[in-house]
Amino acid sequence: MAIQLARRMEGLKASDVREILKVTQSGEVISFAGGLPAPELFPVKDLAAATQKVLEQEGQKALQYSTTEGYLPLREILADRMEKRCGIRTTADEVLITTGSQQALDLTGKLLLDEGDTVLCESPTYVGAIAALNVFCPRWVEIPTDDEGMDVEALQRRLENCDRIKLIYVVPNFQNPTGITWSLERRRRFAEVVMRHSVAVVEDNPYGDLRFEGIPLPPIKSFDTKGQVVYLGTFSKILSPGMRIGWLTAARPLYDKYVILKQGGDLHTSTLSQMQVAAYLESFEIDQHLARMRAVYRERRDAMIRALEKEMPRCVSFSRPAGGLFLWVELPGHLDARELLRRSLELRVAFVPGGSFYPKGNKENTLRLNYSNMPVTRIEEGIRRLAQAVKEMLDAGALTARQEAGGAKLNRAQA
Amino acid sequence: MAIQLARRMEGLKASDVREILKVTQSGEVISFAGGLPAPELFPVKDLAAATQKVLEQEGQKALQYSTTEGYLPLREILADRMEKRCGIRTTADEVLITTGSQQALDLTGKLLLDEGDTVLCESPTYVGAIAALNVFCPRWVEIPTDDEGMDVEALQRRLENCDRIKLIYVVPNFQNPTGITWSLERRRRFAEVVMRHSVAVVEDNPYGDLRFEGIPLPPIKSFDTKGQVVYLGTFSKILSPGMRIGWLTAARPLYDKYVILKQGGDLHTSTLSQMQVAAYLESFEIDQHLARMRAVYRERRDAMIRALEKEMPRCVSFSRPAGGLFLWVELPGHLDARELLRRSLELRVAFVPGGSFYPKGNKENTLRLNYSNMPVTRIEEGIRRLAQAVKEMLDAGALTARQEAGGAKLNRAQA
């Protein structure tokens, strides 16, 4: 007698990324697959000093239960920072600390989605959001997306013609997976259109502080006058992903519901971890740390772009992100990135096939490359091998095409 | 235009316990309300030493993303400990680290519950389980429970006569809220009955290591030959609740599904926190720490029982737990514990009214008292005040009864 699971479990499976990462844990593989920050840049000593201070001065408090909303001094720092740097009008009362941004996505699904409700997203979109929200069995609709962001006219038509659209999920800065950043104009028009409808927006901004060039653009949340936009931030890409400290800010009626759901979900995020991060922010200059990260990541992005330009056949195109961790590659339409992955793993290079980033998995000639986790020489070597695998596939395809053409002739001769 | 929420949000509200805890954050209130461990017993220095070691020796690893399953050395320690101390046959491959046990409850709801599915539980049961599972809109059925545990005959009748029973949730050691411990015989018969049906069991064991007297009893999981029982453990009550490190062990087919759900829910539990706990367990003797905790908690339990015996009117009964953090009080049937709370808060004493621990909230003459978080003198003083509030209510009730009787006579005379 097998135990009967909930219906939602039928469609859920382990993520491709995760399965690939398992393969690449051997040090020999050059992995462009994960979304891992460069560990050599983690401020280990500063965090150790901050931790020692917390445990010496407030050890009992740090190890005890705390409120679901989160550690107040940390929420105050975050509210202040969002206001000063992003123009988001918020206060600590509207900041909820989450167990990474991933938990904020899970809470959002719980908050908004009945089975069959519609979620609108960029095309492609973040695979972790697909995984978090699929638990609530939504219908996904991808809105066409270009180099400036989501197509607002297409979005408007959807909003006007479809029922049960409950959520729009967007990553306007250095998007995962494409690296695209929305233009200012697109952000403004998106906010205008959205505010004419009663739909919630989740603006996920894990990479905003990792801009290599150009001017920071205001988040969509800064245009939100009706309390529709939930803004997600995280320390995962700017300090430490292992500590699992993220946050959301939402206007009051929604905020209270998020708190109730988080309470049922994990009571609260680690008190100690929150106090460690707060102590780090109080004692050290995170902006100096960010400047160091940006310099290194920019160099790695440049190296990857140079290598792609040098090594890849002309028929392969790719994005040129102005920040963040990822770059997006488009192969000729007849090439399957999953097949490319099999070949490139033989050459000890890994990446994530792009199909995973489409909720309906329909575009298989794309792939995501991460450049933050690898020194320049390894990036150059990895791209060289990857290009070799692409060329082999192209050659094999040409060969097969010739053989098929030959075979077809033969068949005609026989007939 | 208000944003439309998911239907599941209609019934959800913030927990009573939480709202009461907010009131009691002022130091003047003697609070028996929370489920807080004694912070003065936290091994702050040892954890600080363990943390320093981790950050010095493996800082980059501790701050980086890690696997959803959890930190392998910690899972190995836990598997070993469960086998040696509890007779649970398991391996690290079946141990999943969770963000506190609370997350394991959330994942269980996702795994098993469609709207309207039935959850069976003790009567009363843990309020946090009610909160976690209510998100998935189950039907709750309370099984009668006595001093030896759940009534297995009543359970069997339910299992035979009801459809869609997906989960049985139990806390067999020093239950929250009643402090009751299931007898060995009851555990065995429960396991026998359950294994004749295709239903999952969650055995939640946060307090098992806090036994003050008598012999430890084997968990229900140790009788599970069919992979039906999911066993939950946590460091919250034995090391630090603030760190949010719990775990579950489940047989393979279920285990894999839990991992997928946790991945979507928060990717993984803090790498650093897991490594801190593992380093603590490797460098220090947690069993010595547990012995110290047990000695202090036993003293506090004794003090509370003595005070209740001395101060409370005869019509008030209470449990005598052999371990754990809580004791359960039953007032005369006509008294409402929520009304008692209003009165006792005026005397600066807090507790949790028992109604919250019944999924249908039907038994209002009960209350839960916590004795772990308060020195003996405060316990004595708090129970004295609480008894005063009870007596005032009884007197007021007697007065009202006399007045009503008088009023009734008057009415008859007028008629």
Mean pLDDT of chain A: 94
Asked if the Cβ–Cβ distance from A106 to B66 is below 8 Å, we say no
Closest CA to A116 of A137, A130, A143: A137
Q: Is it the case that residue A404 has pLDDT exceeding 80?
A: no
A236: nearest Cα among A32, A372, A106: A372
Contact B6 A114 (CB under 8 A): yes
> Would you say residue A286 has pLDDT above 90?
yes
Task: Give yes or no for residue B413 having a pLDDT over 60.
Answer: no
Contacts of A242 in chain B (CB under 8 A): 61-66, 270-272
> In the prediction, which pLDDT does A256 show?
96
End-to-end CA distance of chain A: 57
Q: Tell me the shortest Cα–Cα distance from B359 to chain A, in angstroms.
A: 14
Rounded distance, CA A328 to CA A87, Å? 30
Mean pLDDT of A303-331: 98
Taking only the tens place, the pLDDT of each residue in B348-371 is: 999 999 999 999 877 899 999 999
pLDDT of A23 higher than 80 = no
Mean pLDDT along residues A255-280: 97
Nearest by CB: A55 against B9, B12, B44: B44
Nearest chain A residue (CA) to B13: A260
So what's the pLDDT on residue A387?
A: 98
Q: Note whether B242 contacts A267, CB cutoff 8 Å.
A: no
* Contact flag B260-A13 (C-beta cutoff 8 Å): yes
Query: Which residue in B31, B60, B193, B267 has the most chain A C-beta atoms within 10 A of its own C-beta, making it the best mutation to test that interface?
Result: B267
Query: Which of B7, B48, B244 comes nearest A269 by C-beta?
Result: B244
Q: Is A378 exposed, middle or buried (0-12, 13-18, 19+ CB in 10 A)?
A: middle
Closest CA to B217 of B192, B237, B238, B188: B188
Mean pLDDT of A72-80: 98
Q: Is residue B286 over pLDDT 50?
A: yes
pLDDT of residue A213: 97
pLDDT of residue A13: 80
Query: Is 60 exceeded by the pLDDT of residue B412?
Result: no
Closest chain A C-alpha to B394 CA, distance in angstroms: 35
- Say what the pLDDT of residue A381 is: 98
* Contact residues, chain A, for B280 at CB < 8 Å: none
pLDDT for A194: 97
Residue with more model confidence, B158 or B15: B158
Nearest C-alpha in B relative to A245: B270
pLDDT of the residue at B411: 45
d(CA A316, CA A219): 32
B-chain CB neighbours of A66 within 8 Å are: 242
Q: What is the pLDDT of residue A405?
A: 66
Contacts of A167 in chain B (CB under 8 A): none
Chain B residues in contact with A269 by the CB 8 A cut-off are 99, 244
**A12/B64 CB distance under 8 A:** no
Question: Mind listing the pLDDT tens digit for each residue in B73-116?
Answer: 999 999 999 999 999 999 999 999 999 999 999 999 999 999 99
What is the model's pLDDT at position A360?
Answer: 86
B317, pLDDT greater than 90? yes
Across the interface, whether the CB atoms of A64 and B42 are under 8 A apart is answered yes
- State residue B25's pLDDT score: 67
Residues 6+ apart with CB under 8 A from B71: B97, B271, B274, B275, B278
Considering only the beta carbons, identify the residue of B1, B106, B200 that sits closest to A3: B200
pLDDT of residue B304: 98
Average pLDDT over every residue of A191-200: 97
pLDDT > 80? residue A350: yes
Whether B379 has a pLDDT exceeding 80, the answer reads yes
| Mean pLDDT computed over A299-304 | 98
ipTM for the whole complex = 0.94
- Quick one: what percent of chain B has pLDDT higher than 70? 93
- Judging contacts by C-beta atoms under 8 Å, the chain A residues touching residue B65 are 34-36, 236, 241-242
Which of A25, A54, A226, A244 has the highest number of chain B CBs within 10 A, making it the mutation to test binding with B? A244
- Calculate ∠ Cα B302-B338-B396, nearest 5°: 90
Tell me the nearest-neighbour CA distance from B45 into chain A, angstroms: 8
Asked if the Cβ–Cβ distance from B39 to A271 is below 8 Å, we say no
pLDDT band at B2 (very low <50, low <70, confident <90, very high): confident
pLDDT digits (tens, 9 = 90+) for A359-398: 987 789 999 999 999 999 999 999 999 999 999 999 988 7
Tens digits of residue pLDDT in A202-218:
999 999 999 999 999 99
Chain B partners within 8 Å of A12 (Cβ): 257, 260-261, 264
- Residues of chain B found within 8 Å of residue A107, distances taken between Cβ atoms: none
pLDDT at B68 over 70: yes
Least CA distance to A63: which residue of chain B? Answer: B242
The 3-state secondary structure of chain B reads: CCCCCCHHHCCCCCCHHHHHHHHCCCCCCEECCCCCCCHHHCCHHHHHHHHHHHHHHHHHHHHCCCCCCCCHHHHHHHHHHHHHHHCCCCCHHHEEEECHHHHHHHHHHHHHCCCCCEEEEECCCCHHHHHHHHCCCCEEEEECEECCEECHHHHHHHHHHCCCEEEEEECCCCCCCCCCCCCHHHHHHHHHHHCCCCCEEEEECCCCCCECCCCCCCCHHHHCCCCCEEEEEECCCCCCCCCCCEEEECCHHHHHHHHHHHHHHHCCCCHHHHHHHHHHHHHCCHHHHHHHHHHHHHHHHHHHHHHHHHHCCCCCEECCCCECCEEEEECCCCCCHHHHHHHHHHCCEECEEHHHHCCCCCCCCEEEEECCCCCHHHHHHHHHHHHHHHHHHHHHHHHHHHHHHHHHHHHHHHC
Residues of A in contact with B136 (CB under 8 A): 6
Region of poorest pLDDT, from A231-240, B182-191, B358-367: B358-367
- Cβ A9–B111 below 8 Å, yes or no? yes
CB-based contact B102 A264, cutoff 8 Å: yes
CB B135 within 8 A of CB B109: yes
Identity of the residue in B35, B111, B260 whose CB atom sits nearest the CB atom of A14? B260
Per-residue model confidence (pLDDT) at position A299: 98
Contact B6 A134 (CB under 8 A): no
Distance (Å) from the alpha carbon of B6 to chain A's nearest alpha carbon:
4
Domains of chain A, first to last:
8-37+288-413 (3.90.1150.10), 44-283 (3.40.640.10)
**The overall pTM is greater than 0.90:** yes
pLDDT of B27 higher than 90 = no
Instruction: Indicate the pLDDT class of residue B14, thresholds 50, 70 and 90.
Output: confident
User: pLDDT grade, residue A415 (50/70/90)?
Assistant: very low
Contacts of A63 in chain B (CB under 8 A): 39, 42, 44, 47, 239-243
Give percent of chain A with pLDDT exceeding 90.
88
Least confident of A16-30, B98-112, B178-192, B264-278: A16-30
Contact B63 A40 (CB under 8 A): no
